[in-house]
Every structure is written in C-alpha cells, then in structure tokens.
C-alpha cells in the first residue's frame, strides 16, 4: 500500500496492483461448454521453471507460454470475439470504476475468540478469573452437546475473501498497474483477481 494526493489535497490510501498483461489461454462458449468464460493467465517474468505434463499440454494446445497464475472469468453472453491468445490489459478499467478484489486472506494461525470473533470477554479486575474465556457454549441437560456453528477458538485467516466496491484511483497503462482506494486481501506479493463490481453503490 501507499498513498496519493487528490487534486484538492486529500490523502488517499491506495493499493498498487500488477494487473496484467493477461493472455487468454482457454475460451469456453455456450454452444460447447454451456456458458461463456475465458481462462486468463498472468504473464510474469521470469516464467515458471517447472511445469507438470498435464499443464504443459494445456499451454501447448493454446499456443501460449506457461504461466503460474490461471483463473477462469465468466463473460457476458455478448462478450464478443475474444479468442485464445488475445491479451487483456489494465486499460479495461477506468478511473472511478468500482471493482471487487478477491484473494486469500493472511493466515493468522490458531486464534482465540477475542481475535477471531471479537468477543468482549469478562472483567479485567483481579479475581474475576474470566478475562478472555468464551463463556457459555450451550446448556448442560438438553441438548447435552455443543450445537453446530458455535463460535470458538480455532484456525483464523488463509481463506477466500472479497473486498467489494473499491474505487479505481489511477490506471498506469505503461506499467500495467492499477491503484485502488483501500486495502485488498492477502499479504504483499500475493495473487488477487480484480473484476468489475457486481453490486456497485449508487
């Protein structure tokens, strides 16, 4: 993350995303596959050293160079004549567009109920003996078990997460970079998928 200045002098916190170039590795159509979609591969340098045989054959069939990151993106019925080998660049976005960013959140390991579920906890004074405990987890006599879905301590993070309606602040076509206002899921250097907002705020 970094920050940029608006024309009126406001400081805007932004995240810099490397958003291309992406190449179409596979094209799915409604006639053949039942839906419209394109499999995009993020072109990176240097390319991956080791590619297993199934994936190597997949790239060879498409006539594309191997890439590390592949994702399928659904297309509208009127998607046009997008075909294998076409490039998808960052200029598909424009300033002030609203986008959704999907990634894998940072892994936090085993976390307690305070950190994981934001429980309030008990009193902090001496002798309370109920500082960060979860409290009651169910009745004793009936049903004599812990109900499914009970919030408790456990593994936190490292899960698919989507941040919606982030505003595009700048589009850097020369660097294939995108500056979006706010934070996105995952640690620095992780992979994310950026697409037009599904439910943009009016």
Whole-angstrom distance, CA of residue 75 vs CA of residue 196: 11
- Mean pLDDT along residues 117-125: 91
Residue 150: pLDDT over 90: yes
Question: Are 4 and 104 in the same domain?
Answer: yes
pLDDT band at 20 (very low <50, low <70, confident <90, very high): confident
Whether 152 and 113 have beta carbons less than 8 Å apart is answered as: yes
Q: What CA–CA distance (Å, rounded) separates 44 from 59? A: 15
Asked if the model's pLDDT at residue 34 lies above 70, the reply is yes
Same domain for 77 and 94, yes or no, is no
Stated pTM of the model = 0.84
Same domain, 27 and 72: yes
Cis peptide before 21 (omega within 30 of 0): yes
Backbone angles phi, psi at 164, to 5 degrees: -100, 155
Predicted confidence at residue 83, as pLDDT, reads: 85
Do residue 103 and residue 181 come from a single domain?
yes
Quote the DSSP letter at residue 114.
Answer: H
Average pLDDT over residues 115-134: 91
CA-CA distance, 161 to 158, in Å (whole number)? 9
- Average pLDDT over the chain, rounded to an integer: 91
Percent of the chain having pLDDT more than 90?
63
| CATH number of the domain encompassing residue 52 | 3.30.160.810
Both 51 and 102 in one domain: the answer is no
**Is the CB of residue 11 less than 8 Å from the CB of residue 5?**
yes
Range of the domain at 99: 1-19+89-111+151-202
Q: Are residues 107 and 184 in the same domain?
A: yes
Q: What is the pLDDT of residues 62-120, one digit of tens each?
A: 888 899 999 999 887 766 678 888 888 999 999 999 999 999 999 999 999 999 999 99
Q: What is the pLDDT of residue 61?
A: 86
Structural domains in the chain (count):
2
Question: Phi first, then psi: what are they for 61, rounded to 5°?
Answer: -65, -35
Q: Looking at residues 117-142, what average pLDDT do you find?
A: 91
pLDDT at 29: 87
Give the number of other CB atoms < 10 A from CB of residue 69: 14
The answer on 1 and 94 residing in a single domain is yes
Count of Cβ atoms closer than 10 Å to residue 81 Cβ:
6
């Amino acid at each position: 993350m970094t920050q940029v200045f608006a024309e009126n002098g406001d400081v805007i916190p932004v995240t810099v995303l490397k958003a291309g170039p992406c190449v179409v590795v596979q094209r799915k159509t409604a006639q053949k596959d039942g839906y419209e979609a394109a499999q995009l591969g993020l072109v990176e340098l240097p390319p991956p050293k080791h590619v297993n045989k199934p994936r190597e054959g997949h790239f060879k069939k498409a006539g594309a160079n191997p890439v590390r990151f592949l994702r399928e993106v659904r297309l509208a019925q009127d998607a046009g004549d997008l075909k294998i080998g076409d490039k998808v660049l960052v200029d598909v976005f424009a300033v002030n567009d609203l986008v959704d960013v999907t990634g894998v959140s940072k892994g936090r390991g085993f976390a307690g109920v305070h950190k994981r579920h934001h429980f309030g906890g008990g009193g902090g004074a001496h002798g309370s003996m109920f500082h960060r405990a979860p409290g009651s987890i169910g009745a004793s006599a009936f049903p004599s078990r812990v109900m499914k879905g009970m919030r408790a301590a456990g593994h936190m993070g490292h899960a698919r997460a989507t941040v919606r309606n982030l505003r595009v602040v700048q589009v850097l076509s020369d660097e294939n970079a995108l500056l979006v206002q706010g934070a996105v899921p995952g640690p620095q250097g992780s992979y994310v998928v950026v697409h037009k907002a599904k439910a943009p705020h009016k």
